[in-house]
Structure 1
Amino acid sequence: MHERPDISAPDSASRREPLFERPIESMPRWADIRRDIGLDHCLNAVVGLIFGITGPIAVTMAVGLAGGLSNAQLASWVFGIFLSAGSATLVMSLIYRRPLGFAWSIPGTVLLGPSLQHLSFGEVVGAFFVTGVLTLALGMSGLVRRTMALIPQPIVMAMVAAIFLQFGTDIVASSRTAPAIVVPMVLAYILLTAVPGLARVIPPVLGALLVGFFAVAVGGDLDLAPAGPVVAHPVFTAPVFTWSALLELVVPLTLTVLVVQNGQGEAVLAQAGHRTPVNASAVVSGLFSVLNACFGAVSACLTGPTNVLLTASGERERHYTAALFYSLLCFLAAAFSPLVTRFMLGTPEAFILALGGLAMVGALRQAFVSAFATRFTFGSLTTFIVTIAGFDPFNIHAAFWGILLGCVVSRFLEPQDHRAAGLSAAAETSATGCTGEIR
């Protein structure tokens, strides 16, 4: 669709990669967007937003409250992450005409918990600023793309499978705590998935959402908090730069964004048939991490779960419209973040966990298939075990160590797979010439 033919010769000049990956499709016009967008794409965006304003927001609030943040600081944090998510997604999805959903680092938020117990919030914000600048610098250097190209895709997908596994087990756990809500959701999902004709009218995740919300309302489990602010009022927290905070947070946050989160997002988009602009995504993550820091918010990233949801259904060439609709919903969530989060957090935890798990089932299945179906199985298994075990020396997320150790083990035990992959990559480069274009 609007593709330029690749006429470059496979010489050394043509193989020189530009800093920013070049899109080979024109930016969509308003008429293109109106033609391509459909109900399933809008639903994917709605589920993506629901995922963001429930579980991840609950994690953010729990960490912030435990760290002594005020309601104003928490509200500003929520405003910042939705504003940057919407802005980054809108810009990147328009430029590259593919779904590139950005959000914020949940593992990064979790690792802040212990730091907020002994660091001031100003020191943490100072680390946010430095993390954004470092992420931007690494993206501008071109190192991110070259590093990610060295990691076999099955090993990355093993990391994704380990992280997404929790979503699957959440379905089982929530069915024990609230069977009246979760069991009807699961049955509705199975029925709609099994009957393609029904699925075209009511997508399975939408059916599960509607059935679950009906069960919540009938059971009287909707618990809305007392009236509070409706419109966001962001505040600026002055950064404080101290060596203790920078040494404790900057490296873990940067690696979490570039390797764990962006790597996860790249992997799930690849499974959906989309190549991601790795360097451009790193640069955008850095820029919007700096913006987030202005509102006292954690780093921005190309997120895995959101992109899974944005590409859950519909034609691949039209997935970008789900990302565009998601960006508009993020702007609304930013503007009315106090109202939105208060409403969504009033639903039972079991409903949220089951909905998120059902939305992730397809991606979880594909992650296991991609990780263990063919090559690099020793490395993939190592990555899966280390990640799911929560091995996190130096406060760096286990997924990073899983990928690192998985690659090392694979190099020693699976040299034949690396040779075969190297030959395949060389053949592909020779056939396509310049690799700086995103197809």
Structure 2
Amino acid sequence: MSVTTQPTPSATPERNPLLERPDVRPAGVRDVLRDVGAHYAANGVIGLIFSASGPIAVTLAVGAAGGLTAAQLASWVFGIFLSAGLATVAMSLVYRQPLGFAWSIPGTVLLGPSLQHLSFPEVVGAFFTAGVLILALGASGIVRRIMAAIPMPIVMAMVAAVFLRFGTDIVTSTRDNPVVAAPMVFAFVALTAIPVLGRFVPPVLGALVVGVVAVLASGQFAFDSDGPLFASPVFTAPEFTWAAQLELVVPLAITVLIVQNGQGIAVLRAAGHRPPVNVFAVSSGLFSVLNAGFGAVSACVTGPTNALLTSSGEKHRQYTGAVVYGVLSLVCALLAPTLVRFMLATPEAFVLALGGIAMIKALQQAFVTAFATTFTLGSLVTFVVTIADLNLFNIHAAFWGLLVGYVASRLLERDDHDKEES
């Protein structure tokens, strides 16, 4: 992942317009066709595979445990891919940056216990309210001010803690299913170590191709052809109850704006881009309301997806990978039931190994940024609290890691803060 040093775009938010304007003219079809290449298309495909595998498995597990019908689950999958595709394509073309949207996996996880005692219409009502709250907070400009106040090393320490499992997934998948994962790791190492080969076949793309061959050759792909081909979204009428609103709305909003969008913003800045923080928040709110109409969890910008989209190639062409990811997301929305069956037929080791391989450079950069220079104690506290999985009040551990790490840094690293503010 390419890294450049640049001024933080939100260092003086009061001087910037509320909704950040693009620095360049929007990209057209000719621009995309000129700028796209194997590296960027591969990044987009791998981003899609990542989104359509583990996160979808989490969604299906939570929904099934909560008693959702097959139609409601298919509608949920349709909604999250539809919003991800529309938001990613529109934002990436307008800003000419790889601005990848997805949906809140921590938000999905926190729904598990709630669906045990709340009805699905009550949960959908909380989705609608959370979307409106996210939109209002984005329109207020407060999100950009919060993100500007937290030093980048502390934010990247949170990212490092969240991304760490992708690195360990390479080890566990190779141990558990060496027939599939080991050839993928070998291909990635070989293509990375031999630059001449890597110029013709991007290392991550090579790992993907080798993994597909290994899965098919080992007979570990078992696709169930029974079931509908295209999505048939359904509308679940929301119920607005105090119990659901108090339990879910604030945790969902914090997870989207601080935890998820915060990761995406940090990853994009580390890659040398200038993400529009307030526009991210407003867009997340708008598309969260759209998702709620299909009975789906909140939309957001995510760290892993954007790390994959910025993992290789020239910075000014990386937006094309996001466009590929967005277009494929729209296809997945249309074919949601088929996609679910297809991904469930793929061995877990393939998905884990591919995700870990694709994320390894992003994980490396997160550690370098977090611990290389200043705010190292605050970064360490953030990392430890996040990795300890401290969940309070249904709010993801990454938020508490940021909060505790920032407070510790303010108290114990005053010189670093004075230097940054001077």
TM-score band, normalised by shorter chain: over 0.9
Counterpart of 1:311 in structure 2 is: 310
Q: Counterparts of 1:76 and 1:90 in 2: how far apart (Å)? A: 21
Deviations 1:106-147 (A, max 9, x none): 010011100001100000000000000000000000000011
Cα distance in 2 for partners of 1:16, 1:178 equals: 54
- Once residues 240 and 15 of structure 1 are traced to their aligned partners in structure 2, the CA distance between those partners, rounded to angstroms, is 38
Partner residue of 2:355? 356
In 2, Cα distance between the equivalents of 1:305 and 1:328? 18
Matches within 5 A, 1:281-300: 281-300=280-299
Alpha-carbon distance in structure 2 between the residues aligned to 1:34 and 1:211: 27
Counting matched residue pairs gives 411
Residue 7 of structure 1 corresponds to: none
Q: CA deviation at 1:31?
A: 2.0
Q: 1:220 to 1:19 in 2, by over 3 A?
A: same
- 1:325 matched residue in structure 2: 324
What letter matches 1:144 in structure 2?
V
Match of 2:405 in 1: 406
Determine the structure 2 residue equivalent to 1:69: 68
1:16 Cα shift?
A: 2.8
In the TM superposition, 1:150-299 aligns within 5 A as 150-299=149-298
1:243-271 deviations in whole A, cap 9, x for unaligned?
01010001110000000000000011111
**Percent of pairs with identical residues:** 66
Deviations 1:82-106 (A, max 9, x none): 0000111111112211111000000
**Deviation of residue 15 (structure 1)?**
6.0
Distance 2:224 2:401 in 1: 40
Q: Which amino acid aligns with 2:415?
A: Q
Q: Quick check: 201-210 or 289-298, which moved more?
A: 201-210
Work out whether residues 166 and 356 of structure 2, in 8 Å CA contact, stay in contact via their aligned partners in 1.
yes
Residue 69 (structure 1) shift:
0.4
Q: Deviations over 1:29-85 (max 9, x none)?
A: 322222111111111100000001101000000000000000000000000000000
One-letter code aligned to 1:418:
H
- Structure 1, residues 188-220: CA drift from partner, whole Å, max 9, x if none? 110001111111111111111111111111111
Q: Which residue of 1 aligns with 2:382?
A: 383
Residue 167 of structure 2 contacts residue 359 of structure 2 at CA under 8 Å; is this kept in 1? yes
Matched residues in 2 for 1:111 and 1:406: separation? 23
CA RMSD of aligned residues (A): 1.1
TM-score by length of 2: 0.96
- Partner residue in 2 for 1:3: none
Q: Report the AA paired with residue 287 of structure 1.
A: L
Residue in structure 1 matched with residue 92 of structure 2 by the alignment: 93
Instruction: Confirm or deny: 8 A CA contact 2:28 2:93 kept in the other structure.
Output: no
Q: Secondary structure at the match of 2:15?
A: coil
Spell out structure 1 runs of 4+ moving beyond 3 A. none
What residue is the counterpart of 2:371 in the other structure? 372
| Structure 2: gaps of 5 or more residues | 1-11
Secondary structure (helix, strand or coil) at the match of 2:188 reads helix
Task: Give the residue type in structure 1 aligned to 2:303.
Answer: G
1:420 aligns with 2:401: no
Separation in 2 of the partners of 1:65 and 1:151?
Answer: 38
CA drift of 1:180 comes to: 1.2
Q: 1:152 deviation in Å? A: 0.5
Q: Distance in 1 between matches of 2:336 and 2:271?
A: 30
Can you list the C-alpha shifts for 1:330-357, whole angstroms capped at 9, x where unaligned? 1100001111221122010011111111
Letter in 1 for 2:343: M
- 2:8 alignment partner in structure 1: none
Task: Give the partner amino acid of 1:385.
Answer: V
The CA deviation at 1:226 is 4.2
1:168 partner SS: helix
Match of 2:5 in 1: none
The residue type equivalent to 1:114 in the other structure is: P
Task: Give secondary structure in 2 for the equivalent of 1:100.
Answer: coil
CA-CA distance at 1:276 after TM superposition = 0.6
Q: Contact conserved, 2:254 with 2:395, CA < 8 A, in 1?
A: yes
Q: Does the aligned pair in 1 maintain the 2:38–2:202 contact within 8 Å?
A: no
Are residues 1:133 and 2:128 paired? no
3-state DSSP of counterpart to 1:103: strand
Deviation at 1:317, TM superposition (A): 0.5
Alignment of 1:389-400 (within 5 A): 389-400=388-399
Distance 1:24 1:350 in 2: 41
